[in-house]
Amino acid sequence: MQKPGDLSTGPGKEVGLLDNCGILPSNCLPCLASTVSSVEKRRSLSSSPPSARKKNALKLPFKWKEGHPNAALFSSKRLLQRPKAGSQVPFCPTEKRMFDCWSHIEPGTFKVRSENYFRDKKKDFAHNHAAYYPFGVDVFLSPRKIDHIARFVELPVVSHSGKLPSILVVNVQIPLYPPALFHSEIDGEGMNFVLYFKLSDSYLKELPPHFQENIRRIIDDEVEKVKGFPVDTNVPFRERLKILGRVANVEDLHMSAAERKLMQAYNEKPVLSRPQHEFYSGENYFEIDIDMHRFSYISRKGFDAFLDRLKFCILDVGLTIQGNKPEELPEQILCCVRLSGIDYMNYHQLSLNQEPSDTSAET
């Protein structure tokens, strides 16, 4: 098991993301625009069509009306200038049961498609190995979404050898402004849950070759042919990225009967991250942005009602790559981490008035 801050290696029906924002509809539990200089050449590695992104760019960020509690929240928070990655949320051992911290979680506690899934539709606990293990978590407040957040933090220098990047950054963009049925804001004040993972030193021997190859295909933004009617289509391989999430302390939460029923029905249900995801590559790292600002109104509305209870939840979050062929089963864990009672009110803003890191040029 990894020590805190140590970069050495530590040990149902699937639905679309717009259907339930990550784990629960109605309750909508989480799985979980940067400023860019005119001289910086960026290319989004997203599978989203360019026309959709251009349309989104025309939206103005949401701002709280003067006097709203969140307006005071943002004005009172100091700006952090390129903090060290993982310096904001403290580590705590799983057995301590502390809140407002992160912990390791065993990959083998997540259920995934089993070896015989296409015959019996059964899932089983994953093998107890992951490609990447956590070394830190940050929470940042921001007046608008921060894309490609790795440019604005100080990532550790990690030796690199092999085909895969040494560091994986997962940036979950969470809105703090209320959803609007007809206005459909997709930018505004929010927070970023930033999860940092290091490539396992033993991934070559612990993970099957097909899973290693699928990770590479996601990083390289490959496409695959999918059979369809009347014609086959080419689909980005990144659309196979899947979020695994669960609330580990359901019994500790105060919920209505309807909420508890929904929790029992949808807790631990995996969801594909498409199309609300973006991908960025830098020197020796790969970043995945999951944009909750773009979730459906129903999903946003449910999460907004749940937000105040986030600080009481123990959330286990992981990623996998969906296996669509028998030879790709059982599914393997890409990365996973436990978030215990994160209270976003305790965190600060990330300053974007800085030159992006020279080591974060996209490819």
Task: For residue 102, tell me if it sits in a domain.
Answer: yes
- Please indicate whether residue 218 or residue 264 has the higher confidence score (pLDDT): 218
pLDDT tier at 67 (50, 70, 90 boundaries)? very low
pLDDT tier at 353 (50, 70, 90 boundaries)? confident
pLDDT at res. 297: 84
Which of 6-20, 134-148, 309-323, 334-348 is predicted least confidently? 6-20
| C-alpha dihedral (131, 135, 141, 146), degrees to nearest 10 | -40
HEC string of the chain equals CCCCCCCCCCCCCCECHHHHCCCCCCCCCCCCCCCCCCCCCCCCCCCCCHHHHHHHHCCCCECCCCCCHHHHHHHHCCEECCCECCCCECECCHHHCCCCEEECCCHHHCEEECCCHHHHCCEEECCCCECEEEEEEEEEEECCCCCCHHHHCECCCCCCCCCCCCEEEEEEEEECCCCCCCCCCCCECEEEEEEEEEECCCHHHHCCHHHHHHHHHHHCCCEEEECCCCCCEEEEHHHHEEEEEEECCHHHCCCCHHHHHHHHHHCCCCEECCCCEEEEEECCEEEEEEEHHHCCHHHHHHHHHHHHHHHHCEEEEEEEECCCCHHHCCCCEEEEEEEECCCHHHCEEECCCCCCCHHHCCC
Task: For residue 49, tell me if it sits in a domain.
Answer: no
Task: For residue 26, tell me if it sits in a domain.
Answer: no
Task: For residue 228, tell me if it sits in a domain.
Answer: yes
pLDDT at res. 34: 35
pLDDT tier at 340 (50, 70, 90 boundaries)? very high
- Overall average pLDDT of the 72-90 stretch: 87
Task: For residue 10, tell me if it sits in a domain.
Answer: no
Could you tell me the pTM of the whole model? 0.81
Task: For residue 37, tell me if it sits in a domain.
Answer: no
Which of 88-102, 201-215, 301-315, 332-346 is predicted least confidently? 301-315
Q: What is the mean pLDDT of the chain?
A: 82
- Overall average pLDDT of the 298-324 stretch: 90
Q: Name the domain count of the chain.
A: 1
- Please indicate whether residue 173 or residue 63 has the higher confidence score (pLDDT): 173
pLDDT at res. 330: 97
pLDDT tier at 181 (50, 70, 90 boundaries)? confident
Range of the domain at 102: 70-350
pLDDT at 65 over 50: no
- Please indicate whether residue 65 or residue 165 has the higher confidence score (pLDDT): 165
Percent of the chain scored above 90 by pLDDT?
Answer: 58
Which of 62-71, 191-200, 274-283 is predicted least confidently? 62-71
pLDDT at res. 159: 83
Task: For residue 323, tell me if it sits in a domain.
Answer: yes
Task: For residue 88, tell me if it sits in a domain.
Answer: yes
Phi-psi region of 233 (alpha: psi -120 to 50; beta: other; left: phi over 0): beta
